[in-house]
Amino acid sequence: MNDLPRQFGRYLLQQRLGRGGMAEVFRATVDGPGGFSRPVAIKRILPEYSQDEWFTRMIADEARIVSRLAHPNIVQILDAGEVDGSWYIAFELVDGTDLFQLLQRIYSRGQALPQAYACHIAAEVAAGLDHAHSRRDEHGQPLGIVHRDVSPQNVLLSWLGEVKLGDFGIARARQRTSETQAGTIKGKIYYMSPEQARGETVDHRSDLFAVGILLYETLCTQPLYDDDDALHLLDTVAAGRWHWPSDAELKIPAPLRQVVTTALAPDLNARYQSGRALREALLAAMDTCGLRADRDAFGAWLRDQNQVPDDRPPETSSGTGERRWYSSHRVQAAVDKASLPQQVEMTRPHLTPPLRAMAPAQPVGPPTAMPPQLLKPSLPPIAHPQPPDDWQMPDVVLPAPRHLSAVDDGSKPASLGLLAATTLVWLLAIVLGTLAALIARE
C-alpha cells in the first residue's frame, strides 16, 4: 500500500510505522464533527492473511485481551473491526520511540543509558505486566494473561516520558480461541525464558524473566546473549545460561545486580513471583543506590537525546522582570521604572494581594431627607385610659424634706442629688394620685 494517505473506513491512513509477520501498523487520524480529529495507530492484518481464519482469530483474540486492560503502562485499545475484509485494531498513538531504537542509538554513539532511567523503564514495564497478570473476568476468575513477547520492540517510550507495553498479539489467555499447538515456540528467542524456549507451558513468571533481560541490557548496553546461531542460542536460553560482563562489578551497583540475578533465575520459584514484587525490589535498590527517576525527567532526557522540541513553551527569563511568589516565571515590566510614581516599589513583591485601583473621589452633596414612613415604624396606636371631664388634679401637700433646709451656713444651695430625689418623689405622688382617681371612677 503505497498510495498514502488513504481512507480506511472512518480512519485516514497517513504513514506506515512498521510491518511484522502478520500485520502492519499505520499512523492515522479519525475525524468527527466540529473539527474533532484524533491521531491513532491502526494495526491492520496483512492482505495475504486477511482470509486466513487462524490469523483473523489471532487479531480478534488480541483485541479481546487488550480490551480488558486499562493501565497507564499498557497501550490502550480504542476500536476493532473489519474494513473491506481486512481486520484491524485501533490503538492510542504513542508519540515517541521504542526501547529497541533507543538502545540502538545509544550503542552506536558509544554511550550508556543512565542507570536511573534503565531502572525506571523496567519498573514501569513490571507495573503494566502486574496489571495484566492479575486481571479477572466478570465472574472473578483469573484471565491468565501472559504476554510472551516482552522485548525492546514492544516497549514504547513517549516524548513525555511514558513507558507503555504493547503488542499482545501472541499473548496467552484463558479465553483465547486460537490456541498454540503443543511444542510450538512463540516469541523472540533472545527474550524468552528457559521454559518458553523448551516449549513448555508458561505462566506470568516467564514475562518477568523477560523484564530481567530488559534490565540487564539497559544497564549493560549489550545483549544478554551474543550468539547468531539459532539452534545454539535456543539451547543456551533453554538451559538458562548467562553471565555478567567483565566490568559489571565496577559499573553496576550490587543491589541492581541482585535484582537482575533474581529476575533471571532459571528456577521459576527462585524468581520474583509477581510484577509488583519485581517493581518494589527494583525501586528499593534504586533508593539504596541513590538513583532518582520519574516520568518528567525521563521525558526531558529522551527529547534531548532525540532533539525533539520541548512539549512545553520555554520559560521567559529576564533581568528586568520581577519574580512573583506564585510563579517561577519573570513578568516583564510594561513601563519604565523611572516613570512610575514614587509610591510604587519594584524591589520585591509582598505576600499580601495588591490593592485594587480606586476611582477619583466624587464631591458629596447634602443628605437627602428620608420619608417619614422610613423614620418611624408603622405601629398601631396605643389606647390610653382617659380621665373624666370633671376630674382635677388633687392638691398634694408634701412636707419639705428635712435635709433640704439643713444647710451649713444658710447661703449655700442644696446639692443636685437631693434636688433630683425630691423631684422624683413629687412625680411619684402625681402618678399615685392619678391612679387613685381612675380606680374611684370605676
CATH assignment of the domain containing 264:
1.10.510.10
Report if residue 340 sits inside a domain.
Answer: no
Same domain, 165 and 205: yes
Give the closest residue to 166 by CA, choosing from 212, 132, 215: 132
The last residue of a domain, from among 52, 78, 93? 93
Same domain, 164 and 37: no
Same domain, 49 and 104: no
**Cα-based distances in Å from 320 to 137, 331, 343:** 62, 9, 19
The last residue of a domain, from among 73, 93, 113? 93
Same domain, 236 and 167: yes
From first to last of the 442 residues of the chain, give the pLDDT tens digit: 468 899 999 999 999 998 887 889 999 999 989 889 999 999 999 888 888 888 888 888 889 999 999 999 999 999 999 998 899 999 999 999 999 999 999 999 999 999 999 999 999 999 999 999 999 988 899 999 999 999 999 999 999 999 999 988 877 765 555 454 444 556 689 999 999 999 999 999 999 999 999 999 999 999 999 888 888 999 999 999 999 999 888 899 999 999 999 999 999 999 999 999 999 999 999 999 999 999 999 999 999 999 898 765 444 344 433 332 333 333 333 334 344 344 443 333 333 334 334 444 455 455 555 455 544 444 455 455 555 566 565 555 555 555 444 444 444 455 566 677 777 887 888 888 787 777 766 6
Same domain, 42 and 183: no
Known catalytic residues are 149
**Which domain CATH number covers 27?**
3.30.200.20
Residue whose C-alpha cell reads 418611624 in the numeric block: 376
Same domain, 108 and 86: no
Say how far apart CA 8 and CA 45 lie, in whole Å.
13
Same domain, 154 and 254: yes
The last residue of a domain, from among 275, 310, 345? 310
- What is the distance between the terminal CA atoms of the chain, rounded to a whole angstrom? 121
Q: Among positive and negative, which fits the CA dihedral 103, 107, 108, 112? A: positive
Report if residue 276 sits inside a domain.
Answer: yes
pLDDT of residue 422: 77
Give the closest residue to 92 by CA, choosing from 160, 146, 141, 34: 160
In the β-sheet with 155-158, what is the strand arrangement from edge to edge? 96-98, 155-158, 163-165
Same domain, 112 and 33: no
Give the domain range for residue 34.
Answer: 1-93
Same domain, 121 and 262: yes
Considering its fold, how many domains does the chain have in total?
A: 2
Same domain, 193 and 299: yes
Report if residue 332 sits inside a domain.
Answer: no
Three-class SS state of 294: coil
Same domain, 124 and 148: yes
Same domain, 24 and 103: no
Q: What predicted TM-score, i.e. pTM, was given to this entire model?
A: 0.68
DSSP run (H or E) holding 7: strand 6-8
Report if residue 158 sits inside a domain.
Answer: yes
Residue whose C-alpha cell reads 525521563 in the numeric block: 298
Residue 7's CB is within 10 A of a number of other CB atoms, namely 10
Report if residue 274 sits inside a domain.
Answer: yes
